[in-house]
């Protein structure tokens, strides 16, 4: 537990055999449950995590998608397990070991104290924290930040592509998890929907971490597809704010 809060960690993983074991080994002991969602990997990711889970006394759980559904869908699956197990806070860290566990308190402190509903790492509002990030990736992130701000009507959004996040159970239970974008644009879609629901969102500066992992994102396709998603989100938010009571339905685990 962390400050008397049960913490569930969601780890989306697709073909991360070179990183997933090390990544899990670095998770602090105050994380109560680790949900590794194997998104139909074709390498040894599942076998490595299963071996770790065997000796974890239930702390590490492996959930496997029988088809590759996308990182957003993998995270939603993990969120559902966090809700099922009544975790107070759900954290997301990627399986590629590019998110430093030492930064976790930056996200967990404000969320556990009840000041913030959704805390996100921020790598791009401070130039010194972008070391190792290519100029192409920086440009893409800045473009998508601007588009996400407009779609969400939330100009305090800084690094919408950062998947290092923490969310309260209360905020998570207000989301319609069935209609979150299933692939890489999930983070933008989630920000729009949480902003529309008047969730308290805040970004916390932390350095980008890059090692031997190669990004699976193809920016020539990614930026146009997420731009189209955000255009649809823009009109969704207008409709939501005109006709909704600003409350999402509760999610139940079946």
- List the chain domain ranges: 7-243
Single pTM value for the model: 0.91
Q: What is the DSSP string of 102-142?
A: GGHHHHHHHHHTTS-SEEEEESSSSGGGGTT--HHHHHHHH
Distance CA 185, CA 199 (A): 19
Q: Decide if 190 contacts 174 (C-beta within 8 A).
A: no
What is the CATH number assigned to the segment(s) 7-243?
A: 3.90.550.10
List the chain pLDDT tens, one digit each, 254 residues.
999 999 999 999 999 999 999 999 999 999 999 999 999 999 999 999 999 999 999 999 999 999 999 999 999 999 999 999 999 999 999 999 889 999 999 999 999 999 999 999 998 887 776 676 767 677 878 899 999 999 999 999 999 999 999 999 999 999 999 999 999 999 999 999 999 999 999 999 998 776 655 555 566 577 889 999 999 999 999 999 888 765 543 443 33
Give the rounded distance of the alpha carbon of 9 from its chain centre: 10
Distance CA 56, CA 38 (A): 17
Burial of residue 245 (number of CB atoms within 10 Å: 0-12, 13-18, 19+): exposed
Contacts of 55 (CB under 8 A, 6+ apart): none
């Amino acid at each position: 537990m962390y400050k008397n809060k049960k913490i569930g960690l969601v780890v989306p993983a697709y073909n991360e055999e070179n990183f997933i074991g090390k990544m899990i080994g670095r998770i602090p002991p105050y994380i109560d449950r680790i949900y590794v969602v194997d998104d139909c990997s074709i390498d040894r990711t599942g076998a490595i995590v299963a071996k770790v889970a065997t000796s974890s006394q239930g702390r590490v759980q492996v959930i496997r998608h029988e088809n590759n559904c996308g990182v957003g869908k993998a995270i939603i699956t993990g969120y559902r397990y966090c809700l099922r197990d009544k975790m107070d806070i759900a954290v997301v860290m990627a399986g590629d070991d590019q998110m430093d566990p030492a930064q976790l308190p930056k996200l967990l402190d404000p969320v556990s104290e009840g000041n913030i509903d959704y805390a996100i790492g921020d790598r791009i509002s401070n130039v010194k924290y972008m070391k190792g990030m290519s100029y192409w990736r920086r440009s893409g992130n800045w473009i998508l930040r601007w588009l996400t701000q407009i779609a969400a009507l939330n100009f305090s959004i800084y690094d919408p592509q950062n998947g290092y996040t923490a969310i309260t159970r209360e905020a998570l239970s207000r989301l319609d998890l069935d209609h979150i974008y299933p692939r890489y644009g999930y983070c933008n879609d989630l920000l729009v929907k949480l902003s529309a629901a008047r969730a308290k969102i805040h970004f916390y500066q932390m350095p980008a971490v890059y090692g031997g992992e190669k990004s699976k994102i193809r920016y020539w396709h990614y930026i146009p597809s997420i731009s189209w998603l955000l255009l649809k989100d823009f009109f969704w938010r207008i409709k939501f704010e005109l006709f909704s009571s600003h409350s999402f339905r509760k999610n139940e685990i079946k």
